[in-house]
Amino acid sequence: MSKKEKKAVPGCEWLFGLHAVQAVLKTSGSKVQEVRVQKGRDDQRLKKILNMAEGQSITVTWVLRSDLDALASGRHQGVAALCQGAGVQDENYLVELLQEQEGSPFLLVLDGVTDPHNLGACMRSADAAGVQAVIVPKDNSVGITPTVQKVACGAAENIPLVVVTNLSRTLKQLQDQGVWIIGTAGEAEQLVYEADLTGPMALVMGAEEKGLRRLTRENCDLLVKLPMVGIVSSLNVSVATGVCLFEAVRQRS
């Protein structure tokens, strides 16, 4: 069997695109099993990826564009990386994380985010902001997909995604351990800039169109909102997440 035909290692997935592959090599190179590059490609961005792979003794295989087309469900830009699957965890991991956490817990909860582009963007912002874990419900939520990994630009391999069976129960468990649950809602009276985001906290963001579900909302200690002064009534969830997370970063630093 040729390298081109080599079967994927169990638990590994293909990641596509120049930016995504470069990011995972930079942040999680030890998880990359192989890099495949389209024959005939010769540009500076690709050379940087090749140098990073060579520096970490990662196998590079040159293949036809049709081979990459067969691997990718979307645009691959002539490069793919086979890497260990992102760190999807369960409730037990969350308990252990809080027990072992030395600093103040800083978590992100996504309630019903089903668009992989939004999840990827949220994970990228969460990783950049220093969030320790992203929590999502098992049902009505997108998991780690190649699109999520590509948009996350390496964050999906670096920050754990905790999938929980019952989100309301998880929020109550977090509260029992001293974590302040701060949800976002358009009808909230307090602006996110007015809230105290310095302590142990979990920021809860709602779905793309419906926002927070009723039970999720009821389990929040505080609801906050972003000021909207234009004609639009809300922001894309990934944009709103980034704004709220970095307001917390500003306060916590």
Q: Name the CATH architecture for the domain at 8-84.
A: 2-Layer Sandwich (3.30)
Distance separating alpha carbons of residues 24 and 12, to the nearest angstrom: 13
H/E stretch holding 109 reads: strand 106-110
Give how far the C-alpha of residue 210 lies from the chain's centroid of Cα atoms, to the nearest Å: 21
Question: Any idea which residue has 């002064």 for tokens?
Answer: 229
Q: In 10 A of CB 73, how many CB atoms?
A: 11
Architecture of 88-252 per CATH? 3-Layer(aba) Sandwich (3.40)
Positions of CATH 3.40.1280.10 in the chain: 88-252
Provide the Cα torsion 31, 37, 42, 48; round to 10°. Answer: 0
| Per-residue model confidence as pLDDT tens for the chain (253 residues) | 333 434 445 567 788 888 778 877 887 788 888 999 999 888 888 999 999 999 999 999 999 999 998 887 667 889 988 887 656 778 888 888 888 877 899 999 999 999 999 999 999 999 999 999 999 999 888 877 777 877 887 777 778 889 999 999 999 999 999 999 999 998 899 999 999 999 999 999 998 778 899 999 999 999 999 998 877 777 899 999 999 999 999 999 9
For position 1, what pLDDT does the model report? 35
| Helices assigned H by DSSP within the chain | 18-28, 44-55, 65-71, 91-100, 116-129, 146-152, 167-176, 214-218, 237-252
Hey, what amino acid is at 63? V
pLDDT digits (tens, 9 = 90+) for 194-239: 999 999 999 999 987 788 999 999 999 999 999 988 777 778 999 9
User: What residue ranges of the chain are covered by domains with CATH 3.30.1330.30?
Assistant: 8-84
> Across-strand partners of 223?
183
Q: What are the φ/ψ torsions at residue 11 (nearest 5 degrees)? A: 85, 0
